Chains A and B, each alone.
Chain A
């Protein structure tokens, strides 16, 4: 079983929270199965992110082994997945994060994890840090690369 990360889980922190929640779910399911004698247990309440992950990975919530395998996958992903840091001119919305995450997982790597930050003096655009390289697509960089046109900003 290979884990399929949903676009809503973009950052390592989010995935870490999902892992913690999954571990709690495993514990809860195990306890519930130990208490009941009828076989079927009430499915636990899952967060949206964990629910999407379980659904996309086609894991049965009542299957402890599958859940533990999924947890293992998550740990492995957290240890080995490539990461990129994205600096935007404002805090991104969930939709924005989803869009960027979809692009990275489609074009770059399906397991890539992204972290987001905001810095208002960028003006717009983004600064992407991948490994030791920095890709500056910000409006500030564009303005500084065309200093001769600075006066257009002031309307002169």
Chain B
């Protein structure tokens, strides 16, 4: 409970107390009025010299009672109005304070939520970036490994194909080779590389 709320509650209590005090004072005064010592009065019967007769006294008493009731009623109405006003004001203050407090808390909540949202978005963006980098690295690694494997297999194939071709030629031709028919081809090949052969001989 913050200071404003405490003050409001204290004010309400003070208001209620003042009204109670007012009421008690009114009742006390009324009693005081009633309990005031009646001055002795001697019945002086002077015929013809009575100021108020009993009927008039009753009337006066009745009017005094009525006025007193009126005064008490008015005081009570005023008290009731004052209490109502106080309650209304207190209620308004409490509502305003609650609204303000709730509004502030809600804004804080929204701000925290926005911050959390932004942080989450940033984290996801970072994760996505890391994933993309890793995927790129893995792809590169895979391509490199595939190329290496392909080269290895090609080299192995080349090694084997050399043997296969040599075996095929040896088996297919056997001893049926005619060197005479190859002479022109061999001499033509030698002519093509004559200069290189001469360079190798002289060095």
Q: CA separation between A123 and B198, bound complex, in Å? A: 26
Q: Is the interface of A mostly helix, strand, loop or mixed?
A: mixed
CB neighbors of A among B100-146 (8 A): none
Q: Determine if A147 and B161 form an interchain contact, defined as CB atoms under 8 angstroms apart.
A: yes
Please determine whether A82 and B201 come into contact, CB atoms closer than 8 angstroms: yes
Q: Is there contact, CB below 8 Å, between B165 and A143? A: yes
A36 within 8 A of B: no
Contact (A135, B197) CB under 8 Å given A120-B169, A121-B170, A144-B161: yes
**A82 to B, closest residue via Cβ:** B201
Digit string of A99-119 for contact with B (CB within 8 Å is 1, else 0)? 110010001110010000000
CB contacts (< 8 Å) of A88 on chain B: these are: 179
Q: State whether A108 touches B197 (Cβ < 8 A).
A: yes
User: What residues of B have a CB within 8 angstroms of the CB of A135 in the complex?
Assistant: 189, 193, 196-197
Q: Is the CB of B166 within 8 A of A137?
A: no
Please tell me if the beta carbons of A120 and B189 are within 8 angstroms of each other in the complex. no
Is residue B89 within 8 Å, beta carbon to beta carbon, of the partner chain? no
Asked if B46 CB lies within 8 Å of chain A CBs, one says no
List of A residues within 8 angstroms of B198 by Cβ:
107-109
CB pair B162–A144 under 8 Å, yes or no, is yes
Interface SS of chain B:
helix
Q: Which residue of A lies closest to B193 (CB)?
A: A135
B165 touches A133 (CB 8 A): no
Near B by CB (< 8 A), chain A positions 108-156 give: 108-109, 112, 120-126, 128, 130-133, 135, 137, 139-140, 143-144, 147, 150, 153
- Among listed B9-17, B23-31, B64-72, B180-188, interface-contacting one: B180-188
Q: A82-B201, A90-B175, A121-B167 are in contact. Are A133 and B196 (CB under 8 A)?
A: yes
When distances are taken between beta carbons in the complex, the residues of chain A under 8 Å from B194 are: 107-108
Chain A residues near B165: list those with CB within 8 A.
140, 143-144, 150
Query: B201 near A120 (CB under 8 angstroms)?
Result: no
Q: When the two chains form their complex, are residues B169 and A140 in contact, meaning their CB atoms are under 8 A apart?
A: yes
Which residue in chain B gives the minimum CB-CB distance to A138? B169
- Does B190 have its Cβ within 8 Å of any Cβ on chain A? yes
B54 within 8 A of A: no
**Nearest Cβ distance between residue A97 and chain B, in whole angstroms?**
10
A-B contact pairs, 26 of them (CB 8 A): A84-B197, A89-B177, A90-B175, A92-B179, A103-B190, A107-B190, A107-B198, A108-B194, A108-B197, A108-B201, A109-B201, A120-B173, A120-B177, A121-B166, A121-B169, A122-B169, A123-B173, A126-B182, A126-B186, A128-B197, A131-B200, A133-B200, A135-B196, A143-B169, A144-B162, A150-B165
Which residues from chain A sit less than 8 Å from chain B, CB to CB? 82, 84, 88-90, 92-93, 95-96, 99-100, 103, 107-109, 112, 120-126, 128, 130-133, 135, 137, 139-140, 143-144, 147, 150, 153
